[in-house]
A and B are shown apart, each in its own frame.
Chain A
Amino acid sequence: MENYKLFDAEYKFACIVWEREPINSTELVKLCAKELGWKKSTTYTVLKKLCERNVLQNVDAMVTSLVKKEDVQKYESNTIVEKTFDGSLPKFLTAFLDNRKITSEEANELRQIIEEATK
């Protein structure tokens, strides 16, 4: 089962395949470019990865699924958060939040502040 847990991007990609399979890989690249904003190389990279994990298969430029949509789960974003790279985001990017953790006390305090100020 472990194998059938997919990242968000992989899941979205697989969804496209499930919807249209069997699908020509060239067609798939075009679709991905339109719907996911992917480059050709990105599409092939993800395709290759999912083929290796036996979620999809690519035979003679025809892509089909090996696993049913019902059997696949998305990773909960919280569980994989440790793998994120926010901590090393370049300093020169305008990020919505800086990467400092706030404690639960701070969070409670802030919640209170918000409550009081916007009553």
Chain B
Amino acid sequence: MSLQELFIVVLNMSITSSYVAIGVILVRMLLKKTPRIFSYALWGVVLFRLVCPISIQTNFSLLNLLNIRLNNQSGHPEYVPMDIGIMNTPTIQSGISSLDPVVNKVLPQATPLASANPMQIWMGILSVVWVAGMVVLLIYSVISYINTKRNLRFSTLVKDNIYESDQITTAFVCGLIYPKIYIPANIDQSDLPYILSHERTHIHRKDHLVKFVSFLALIPHWFNPIMWLSFNLMSKDMEMSCDETVLRSMNQDIRRGYSNSLLSLSLKNRNPFTASPLAFGESHVKSRIKNIVNYKKPVFWVITASIILVLVVGISLISNPVNGQPDLSFLNPNSMLSAIAEQEQIIIESIEYGESAVSGTEFAKWLDIAENRWKRKRRNIPNELTPSIIVHVSAETGNEIRFFESETYVMTVYQDEFRYYKIPEQDYQSIRQMAASGIPHVQQITVTNHVNGQDTNKIITEDEKIIMRMAVLMQQGERYKPSLFFNSTLNDVPPVSDYLKVEMNGEHVYHRYYLYIQDNKSYYIDQPYERIHKIDSDIMKTITSIFDNSGFDIGKSLDTILSSPLESSNAQDYINTHMDEYENILKYGGEDALQYMLSEFKAGKAEGLRGVVMMILCKELLGPRNNVKDLGLSPQQWYAALDILLETKLPHFKYDGDDPIEKLVYSTEVQQRATSEKRGFIIVAPKIFGSYKEEDMLKVFVTTFTVRYELYGDTLSEAGGSIIPAAITYQKDTDGNFVLKEYVQAGDGSQFSPSIKNFCSMPKSKKNIKGLADQMIREYSNHDELHELLIGNLYKHLKKHGIKKATLTDYQGNVTFSITDTN
């Protein structure tokens, strides 16, 4: 434990002790009329709190009245967290809720770029000051003790253990094991019996030891004024109760003589070091004399009541609150099992896959086995890592299991408590898989029917039942993995022209599935880049039937847009207010919506605002097909002038050169990019980084710029494109021609570089090709060369197909490419 941690432990103990001391002081007021021994005894609780590291927890701890956080190891209240130095926003929890924000506001925030936080530095300084204070106090005490002993050297024996000295004006007990009583020389013989019986009582009751131990306990808490006050009040209670014991032990009433002795002795006390800064309230002498003269032998019931009060208060102040019994047990994965199994679905939130749900029984089954491999690991401070996977066991209690990508630990969380387990790497991988395969936690499903290369109709649903049913169906089937990269869909679409696209949207998820039939007999659910499931025709039927009765209604959507804000007459305001609805029409309405709106125009039902909104929508849906460039026309004028341009169909790009490898690559790239999309034509621009032959195999490494262009009249438009590095492997067939064997393209995001490094190997021996991957990665960011090649190819292509005039403009209206017939 570092010095700083030790300081924080003492600081927390000090604050607890302060609350306890305040409690004792309050109860002490109630006990004013009762024998002082009870008040004296209560201080024992504070002393216990100051020194005892063991936490006793009871349900009736008075600290329950405060808003206190307990340390989950020691069970002690923790106002100042152990890791305050490294907290981003240092916060304390003093136990008094209204005080916390004030204190926390002045605590300095962490400075993430600096090597030490201001709070860390402050805690460092404070802990050094704390140690320095203790040292000073100790040295001072030792010196004054030595001084005292030196001065008492010449004290002379009176009798037994009683010594007298003319160097002192008050009597006291000195020495721990063989305590001696020192009395001032020349004391009045009448005072002597009282003083002696007082001091003897001290020794008899071991008060001198109590005081010494209390003072030792005070030293580490020197910075706490409440502790000094407590020490002083404790001394006072000790003296008073000692006085009372003397009075009680005498057979006759000695109150007068005793109090007079006290008075006369204190009058002699004329020493210059009077007002000690650490003395509070009225002088002890005054209150003691008052206490003595008012002393009556206590009645039985007062004593009984006081004993009960002291016991109750004592126990409730000596103990810490119980930190909610179930807390700690729920940190144990084993105890989570039943709660998990009871739930229909458990949400697994992961950085990679968003939120997905697995069935409670399934997860419980896994955890039951995995949990045996987990080893409890002690950690006082939670790490600062962001978990990559969180299993939400219970939303109400915040019961979670957190997994971390960068370290093989799980952190179980229950409310504010946490616990660590070391887990084998395999368990991380399996939870990751579970997150990937879970049912996405979605709020909305959009199903798009794609027929013959065209999106035909879209259906959106937010019906929970349908979502759940659909999500379950999407998990059906048997996993099917035919050479993932080659046969799987590229460009996010399936290898057939008719399919159903199912998009699942949630706050943190976006999943896309394609459902299609291949070879008239096999049914697939294909999640791009993830996996292909082969399903049977019954499941396929069930899925398609779910959506038969619902659909996207463009009329309704338009009504929604026009519903507000009614005070405006500007169509754009309506669109801005309902941006989502507007986007929905563009996204899901598609061609159907366009046809519907054009028919409305034709029927003359496009008046006013509705007309303007429809015109804006139509223009956006038409894109380059809109031949009317005049922006000042009214909707009906615009429609009158509209002559929807038909697309000029061109084939995809074809390489005319002589290079056999380039020829292969061009044709492969066009094949790979060509989809069932009916509109437009594809231009590719592959930059070849190298080709490697081994026996009958050829592997070409290439980064290809692909763009799909559409041509309407003389307007050229880009309809999507990509720049993707890939490795293409060919093998000679029986005729000696190279045919495509494998096509591997670079992965997305974090997979990008590793996937390139992975595929840069020889075709047959799979030996790594030095430097190639680095070159491909390095040059990827420079698109100029590729772009030049692309534009060149586009130009050649248009020329070849007899296009005389075509212009491409960017979204700002700048012409980026044009071709004009110069012949």
Contacts and interface: CB of A to CB of B under 8 A. Distances in A.
Interface in A73-119: 75, 77-78, 80-102, 106-107, 110-111, 113-114, 117-118
A62 B173 CA distance: 37
Given A81-B169, A107-B263, A113-B290, A98 B271 contact: no
A21 interface: no
B172 A85 contact: no
Nearest to B254: A118
Interface string A1-24: 000000111101000000000000
Interface string B160-176: 00011111111111100
B266 A97 contact: yes
Contact of B211 (A38, A81, A92): A92
Interface stretch (B274-282, B558-566, B654-662, B740-748): B274-282
A113 B711 CA distance: 115
| Range for the number of chain A residues in contact with chain B | 35 or more
Interface in A28-68: 35-38, 42, 45-46
Given A8-B186, A114-B293, A96 B211 contact: no
B153 interface: yes
B529 to A, nearest CB: 76
Nearest to A49: B154
B155 A9 contact: yes
B295 to A, nearest CB: 9
B195 interface: yes
Contacts of B153: 42, 45
B207 interface: yes
Interface in B116-175: 141, 144-145, 147-148, 151, 153-157, 163-174
B167 A113 contact: no
Given A85-B151, A87-B272, A92 B212 contact: yes
Given A77-B184, A99-B273, A93 B173 contact: yes
Contacts of B154: 7, 9-10, 38, 42, 46
B255 interface: yes
B532 interface: no
A36 B155 CA distance: 8
Nearest to A98: B284
B284 A97 contact: yes
B267 A107 contact: yes
Interface residues of B, number: 69
B170 A95 contact: yes
B294 interface: yes
Given A36-B156, A97-B266, A117-B294, A88 B273 contact: yes
Most buried by B among A12, A37, A90, A117: A90
B286 interface: yes
A90 B141 CA distance: 6
B166 A100 contact: no
A77 to B, nearest CB: 5
A93 B174 contact: yes
Contacts of B170: 86, 89, 95-97, 99
B283 interface: yes
B191 to A, nearest CB: 10
A101 to B, nearest CB: 4
Contacts of A102: 266-267, 269, 283, 285-286
Contacts of B256: 114, 118
B208 A94 contact: yes
A12 B90 CA distance: 67
Contacts of A110: 259, 263, 285-286, 289
Contacts of A93: 148, 172-174, 208, 211
A114 B168 contact: no
B730 to A, nearest CB: 94
Nearest to A106: B286
Contacts of B265: 96-97
Given A78-B268, A87-B271, A98 B157 contact: no
A37 B157 contact: yes
5 contacts: A9-B166, A35-B156, A77-B166, A85-B147, A114-B263
Interface of A: 7-10, 12, 35-38, 42, 45-46, 75, 77-78, 80-102, 106-107, 110-111, 113-114, 117-118
Given A93-B172, A98-B283, A101-B274, 18 more contacts: A8-B156, A36-B156, A37-B163, A42-B154, A46-B154, A75-B166, A82-B271, A85-B148, A86-B168, A86-B271, A88-B144, A90-B215, A92-B215, A94-B211, A96-B198, A97-B262, A99-B271, A113-B289
Interface of B: 141, 144-145, 147-148, 151, 153-157, 163-174, 184-186, 195, 198-199, 202, 207-208, 211-212, 214-216, 231, 235, 238, 253, 255-256, 259-260, 262-263, 265-276, 278-279, 283-286, 289-290, 293-294
